[in-house]
Amino acid sequence: MLKKLIITTLSQFENENFSGNFPLDYCLPVYHNVSNEHLPHLKHIINYKNEKEFEADLDCLSKHFQWVTFDEFKDYVKGNFKPKKKIALLTFDDGYREFYDVVIPILKRKGIYAMNFINPAFTDNKDLMFRCKVSLLKDKFQQIHYEDKFLLKLKYQDTKTINDLAMQFEVDFEDYLKEKRPYLSSDELYQIRNKGFGISSHGWNHPLYHDLPLSEQLENTFQGYSYMKENGFHYESFAFPFTDFGVEKVFFDTLFKNEDFFCTFGSAGVKTDSVAHNFQRIPMETGENARMILKKEISYFRFKKHLNKNHIQRK
């Protein structure tokens, strides 16, 4: 792909003065999971890092940025927090159990805060996100050497098809949820909060927003918001599942009429947004380390600057 070739070529000329060269005053890395184990529900959809790789990323980022909490990030946006250097807010999505078992011990040892944006529909392992179901099916299809190319094209709206395939090929999602417990429990969420880390909303059940009509986008968002508020978590923020690509200005205008909301998060990399309090995060599970990801993000930003492509303009 031409885009990848351009980014890779330009990044080779980028030095590693990330704190000086990073084009924004804030860096927002986003992960989903960290594990040394084979996780069939994620293996085919997320290139998650192991503990050693994750720690190396943190060490790299720590050299160049000042880690902040979500409250400090909000104060920074309001102009009430003056950092010593460019800031970084570490975020996770989807509320997987390893955040409690694996990630938090690492973060506590390093003195780094993180925030996890969760889907309440999956808390306590009540259900499995549709893409995780697809990953489990793909794992099974590969074992029996069955054609699986169509699986990754299945969408949120294809949930019935996904469930029918699971029955046909004897993939029991309920058994998997009980046995593997891929998601955090309510008790673990409270413990995470009490340990000083953040829990916030990723919508109710992880649809791709631009595939939904506005009414369903808002319904999914406010369901997640209500859960956060009722359970004493961060209800003033929301991170889009998958991406905020294609989400129109009217969504944000309607959402921010509720004065409880302070900000939202996308995952389009280093970009600014016409919605002032919608902040774009950097996906960190690309198969590369933080050093290379930062080099590519910075060099691509420089390139797009000449094309006026670094700013998302909502219609």
Sorted by where each begins, the domain ranges of the chain are 24-308
Query: What is the pLDDT at residue 88?
Result: 98
Dump the DSSP string for 163-221: HHHHHHTT--HHHHHHHH--B--HHHHHHHHHTT-EEEE--SS---GGGS-HHHHHHHH
Q: Is the pLDDT reported for residue 183 higher than 90?
A: yes
**C-beta separation of 193 from 232 below 8 A:** yes
Superfamily, domain 24-308: Glycoside hydrolase/deacetylase (3.20.20.370)
pTM: 0.96
Query: What is the pLDDT at residue 7?
Result: 76
The tens digit of pLDDT for each residue in 130-173 reads 999 999 999 999 999 999 999 999 999 999 999 999 999 999 99
Q: What is the mean pLDDT of residues 160-188?
A: 98
Distance of alpha carbon 119 from alpha carbon 133, whole angstroms: 15
Q: Is the pLDDT reported for residue 97 higher than 90?
A: yes
Q: How confident is the model at residue 206 (pLDDT cuts 50, 70, 90)?
A: very high
Q: What is the mean pLDDT of residues 35-61?
A: 98
The tens digit of pLDDT for each residue in 245-299 reads 999 999 999 999 999 999 999 999 999 999 999 999 999 999 999 999 999 999 9
Query: What is the pLDDT at residue 3?
Result: 77
Query: What is the pLDDT at residue 14?
Result: 78
Distance of alpha carbon 252 from alpha carbon 312, whole angstroms: 13
